[in-house]
Structure 1
Amino acid sequence: MAAIRVVVVDDSALVRSLLKTLIDRQSDMQCVGTAADPFAARELIREVSPDVVTLDIEMPRMDGLEFLARLMRLRPTPVVMVSTLTERGAEATMRALELGAVDFVSKPRLGVAEGLHQLSDEICDKIRAAARSRIWRRVQPPCAAPTAEAQRAATPAATTPVVAPRGLGRLSTEKLIFIGASTGGTEATREVLTSLPPDSPAVLITQHMPPGFTRSYAARLNSLCRLTVREATDGERLLPGHAYLAPGGLHLSVERSGANYIARVRDGEPVNRHKPSVEVLFESAARVAGPNAFGVMLTGMGADGAKAMKLMRDAGAYNICQDEASCVVFGMPREAIAHGAAHEVLPLQRIGARLMEQLAATASGPTHRV
């Protein structure tokens, strides 16, 4: 297979050199050019047509967000952002993902050379995932007039808020929704959450994300959703109408305390190379919530959570996986489906409504209890 062709855009000569070296060491990728600012990058991308671009956010003459917006509009290309771990950097990174970036890497503020070398595997894995992503399905290039079919494939349907089923109050206390996601998952999770009613059962989310970014992500979701969204806190009671996000660098799970469900947020070893790990969250869902759980596996690279999602199904949970056509990377859903974990495989825009339909179906019959 042809090597993945990568363009590196960063105003730091040191970072450009380090990233080029890391990329060129891989047998399946090649750095085909570097640029110090978006203007040079624009000409370089036109010349070499890369498969993936790594893009800094803070640059002179034009910041990375403005360049990303223009690139997605004029020449959609998979982009991995290289962002600084600051509050402002985290907010800008969330905006970059909203604009169409596939993923991001947090650039160390001190010890850049050593830090980037330590992140070598993560950087290269994210470049590989970006090269396989379906960025063209999310962003419509303004070239030749697209067919109606191409427009439907490239433009996500607007999120339609779901009407809560009757009798949801009791079920909202008894049921829990568990979501796992990775590459492309920030926008996919937003799509699901913004469709849910304000009295939805509590939602627990593990999105692969490093420390320092989940607070901004939770705040952004909270501003868009009818649910209250925040980072999970260890020991807190899980309430209907709330969504709880695993803090970056910590595992999230669920436990039972009397009649209530509570969140557990703890440190520990990475699971499937991830912390937080979907496997940890879904295993606790199988063990603690059983038939009161709904599982959702969204877009992402790898297989984290697939085995535990099968445990959820075996314990009586109802599971939905995102379909390949609407995924940025069809890795985690594919693995869950292969493990026999999914009851249904649905387009992203149908998942929220289907959760409420299934919840309504449980309201019409006996309700499972833990």
Structure 2
Amino acid sequence: MKTVRVLIVDDSSTIRHLLRFRMRSDPRIEVVGEASNADEARQEITRLSPDVLTLDVEMPGQSGLDFLKELMRTRPMPVIMISSETRKGSAAAIEALSRGAVECIGKPRREEAGNAFAALPDLVCGAATANVTRRLDGARSTPVVVSDYKWNNQIVLIGSSTGGVDALEQVFARLPENCPPILVTQHMPEGFLSSFAQRMNSRFAPTICLAEHDRPLAQGVVMIAPGGARHLGVSSGLRPRCLLLQGDKVGGHRPSVDILFESASPIAERVVAILMTGMGADGARGMTTLHKRGSLCLAQDEASSVVWGMPRVAWEMGGVDRLVPLDSIAPELLAATDRRNRQDR
């Protein structure tokens, strides 16, 4: 397997040391250089042609966000953003993911220094396989005009990971205010998820918020797993509710897409499950269970995925009815949950 060549860009020598130490401990990765600001980063990118960049969100001079925007327009490449999980830092991290960063990882707190960036090597190796394309300002999905949508009592469950923030934005942008109830598990540090929900809610027609335990699912409301120590699930019965479930990580993830999907198996015939871009296999097992029990199961196709990992595994396991390009996911889920339509699976 080819070694992944990484350039570290961060103005803090301490953070650069922690990043270098963590990545050099993994034989899959070669740290080829470091830079402390955007000007140095431009020079080193030209000189070294790294496979992956780690980039500090907040740097003196040109910020990491502005440098990322420039990079995605002129020389697109996989970028992992490094950000504090403060309110300001998490908002910037979500903006970075929306601008094309593959992943964002939180800076360690003082008490966490001994285990700093433990997940980074796997993220770097996954990022190296990402489908990163040139970003043009204003190039976004066209909103869908839905006239006389009538919800058929189906609920929608979505799982996503690497590349998911931008992909979810493109789905949410095409949903009407009276969309079906939607639950989302997106792999992301707890400190970033609140900013993510707030950003989505301020931009799009549905109500978008973090899930709350025992809150009923409702038309026009999208609820996102809050992460931390809890997984997101859904109760069975005529009026499903959100469940926030304490538990260990599943497949290295908390929140876990498998937990969300598997919790819905008792009401599978009332579920539309969607698995979107992401590395690994989280959600594939749960989607296969739902598929066998009567759910409509859709997976994002390879061409439109940043990383075609989770959807690919579900497809290979036979748990997917059909593969769908990103710009068709919103129309597909609306068609499947509109009582005027009968979906041919």
User: TM tier, shorter chain?
Assistant: over 0.9
Aligned partners of 1:107 and 1:157: how far apart in 2? 30
Which residue number in structure 1 is paired with residue 42 of structure 2? 42
Cα 1:164–1:238 change in 2 (3 A) is farther
Stretch moving more, 292-301 or 20-29: 20-29
1:95-134 aligned within 5 A: 95-111=95-111, 113-116=113-116, 119-120=117-118, 122-134=119-131
- Note the alpha carbon deviations across 1:196-248, whole angstroms, 9 max, x for none: 22212100000011111111101111122211000000011111000000002
Residue 190 of structure 1, CA deviation: 1.5
1:4-153 aligned within 5 A: 4-111=4-111, 113-116=113-116, 119-120=117-118, 122-136=119-133, 138-139=134-135
SS of the aligned residue for 1:325 comes to: coil
Contact 2:3 2:29 in 1 (8 A): yes
Which residue number in structure 2 is paired with residue 152 of structure 1? none
Structure 1: any 5+ residue segments left out of the alignment?
142-154
Cα 1:35–1:132 change in 2 (3 A) is same
Aligned partners of 1:38 and 1:157: how far apart in 2? 27
Aligned partners of 1:244 and 1:324: how far apart in 2? 26
2:142 aligned with 1:163, yes or no? no
Aligned partners of 1:16 and 1:251: how far apart in 2? 32
Residue 140 of structure 1, CA deviation: 6.2
Residue 158 of structure 1, CA deviation: 2.2
Could you state the TM-score of these two structures normalised by the residue count of structure 1?
Answer: 0.88
- Note the alpha carbon deviations across 1:263-297, whole angstroms, 9 max, x for none: 0012211111100000000001222x211100100
Counterpart of 1:269 (choices 238, 248, 256) is 248
1:180-219 aligned within 5 A: 180-219=159-198
Contact 2:180 2:337 in 1 (8 A): no
Contact 1:196 1:352 in 2 (8 A): yes
Could you state the TM-score of these two structures normalised by the residue count of structure 2?
Answer: 0.94
Aligned partners of 1:19 and 1:112: how far apart in 2? 14
1:232-247 aligned within 5 A: 232-247=211-226
2:233 aligned with 1:253, yes or no? yes
Aligned partners of 1:69 and 1:197: how far apart in 2? 29
Contact 2:140 2:170 in 1 (8 A): no
- Note the alpha carbon deviations across 1:169-216, whole angstroms, 9 max, x for none: 4x1xx2100000000011111211221222121000000111111111
Which residue number in structure 2 is paired with residue 349 of structure 1? 327
Aligned partners of 2:146 and 2:175: how far apart in 1? 8
Stretch moving more, 348-357 or 318-327: 348-357
Contact 2:6 2:33 in 1 (8 A): yes
Residue 363 of structure 1, CA deviation: 3.8
Cα 1:22–1:73 change in 2 (3 A) is same
SS of the aligned residue for 1:135 comes to: coil
Contact 1:85 1:109 in 2 (8 A): no
Cα 1:311–1:218 change in 2 (3 A) is same
| Residues paired across the two proteins, number | 342
Which residue number in structure 2 is paired with residue 151 of structure 1? none
Aligned partners of 1:246 and 1:65: how far apart in 2? 26
Aligned partners of 1:162 and 1:320: how far apart in 2? 22
- Note the alpha carbon deviations across 1:95-116, whole angstroms, 9 max, x for none: 1011111001101131463141
Amino acid at match of 2:157: F
Structure 2: any 5+ residue segments left out of the alignment?
none
Cα 1:140–1:193 change in 2 (3 A) is closer
SS of the aligned residue for 2:173 comes to: helix
Cα 1:112–1:251 change in 2 (3 A) is closer
SS of the aligned residue for 1:357 comes to: helix
Aligned partners of 1:230 and 1:99: how far apart in 2? 21
Which residue number in structure 2 is paired with residue 145 of structure 1? none
Contact 1:238 1:262 in 2 (8 A): yes
How much identity, in percent, do the aligned residues show?
A: 38
Cα 1:203–1:261 change in 2 (3 A) is same
Contact 2:278 2:309 in 1 (8 A): yes
Residue 25 of structure 1, CA deviation: 2.1
